[in-house]
């Protein structure tokens, strides 16, 4: 697999992480460098690890996993999106939940990196050693996620209180997109 193909693959795989990062930025609004690094490291780290796992599983387990991986991603993203919308619509406002909390961030990172698992299988199938593609995929996802948080923050300032609802809708749409791509692809 040549470098251009790997870069295109990395950018395509990073799009879901970018969308979720924008959604998180809409909610957080006041982004610190630490927040952007945290989301970048989570999404980039999972985008790095999943192709490695996919490459490892290429020989035996993927035929079992690929039949439902898109349902897992869909379910996680829709549940997180609905939860976000419900929280936004509650009459009694609590202290806003931090979308960068460990549990939420881990679920979002897993949900957005399931495609990278399949990419690892593809990379293994064409005989390319996984380390370089996995590093590139992880670095690109870090960059997209890092910048997505800041971009979302700018939208959040403009949208005000409707921002959390939009963030939830975005997560649901990313989940629906993931499911649709797999069912139609």
pLDDT digits (tens, 9 = 90+) for 18-52: 988 998 898 887 899 999 999 999 999 999 999 99
Share of the chain above pLDDT 90, in %: 34
Kindly state the tokens that stand for 51: 């192709």
Global pTM reads 0.76
Residue pLDDT, tens place only, 107-155: 999 988 988 888 888 888 788 899 999 999 999 999 999 999 999 988 8
CA–CA distance, 20 with 170 (Å, rounded to integer): 7
Residue 130 DSSP one-character state? S
Query: In the chain, what are the domain boundaries?
Result: 3-184
Closest CA relative to residue 55, chosen from 112, 1, 129: 129
CB 23 within 8 A of CB 104: no
In this prediction, residue 95 carries a pLDDT of: 45
Other beta carbons within 10 angstroms of residue 120's beta carbon come to 25
Q: Copy the structure tokens of residue 44.
A: 């980039």
Taking the C-alpha atoms of residue 68 and residue 78, their distance in angstroms, rounded to an integer, is 15
């Amino acid at each position: 697999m040549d470098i251009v193909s790997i870069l295109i693959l990395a950018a395509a795989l990073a799009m879901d992480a970018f969308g979720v990062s924008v959604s998180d930025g809409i909610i957080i609004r006041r982004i610190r460098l630490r927040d952007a690094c945290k989301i970048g490291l989570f999404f980039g780290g999972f985008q790095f690890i999943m192709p490695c796992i996919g490459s490892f599983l290429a020989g035996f387990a993927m035929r079992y996993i690929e039949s439902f991986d898109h349902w897992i991603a869909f379910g996680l993203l829709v549940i997180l999106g609905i939860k976000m919308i419900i929280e936004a619509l509650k009459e009694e406002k609590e202290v806003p939940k931090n979308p960068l909390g460990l549990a939420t961030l881990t679920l979002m990172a897993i949900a957005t990196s399931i495609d990278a698992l399949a990419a690892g299988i593809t990379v293994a199938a064409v005989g390319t050693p996984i380390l370089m593609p996995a590093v590139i995929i992880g670095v690109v996802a870090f960059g997209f996620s890092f910048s997505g948080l800041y971009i979302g923050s700018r939208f959040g300032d403009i949208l005000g209180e409707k921002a959390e609802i939009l963030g939830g809708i975005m997560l649901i749409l990313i989940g629906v997109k993931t499911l649709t791509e797999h069912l139609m692809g």
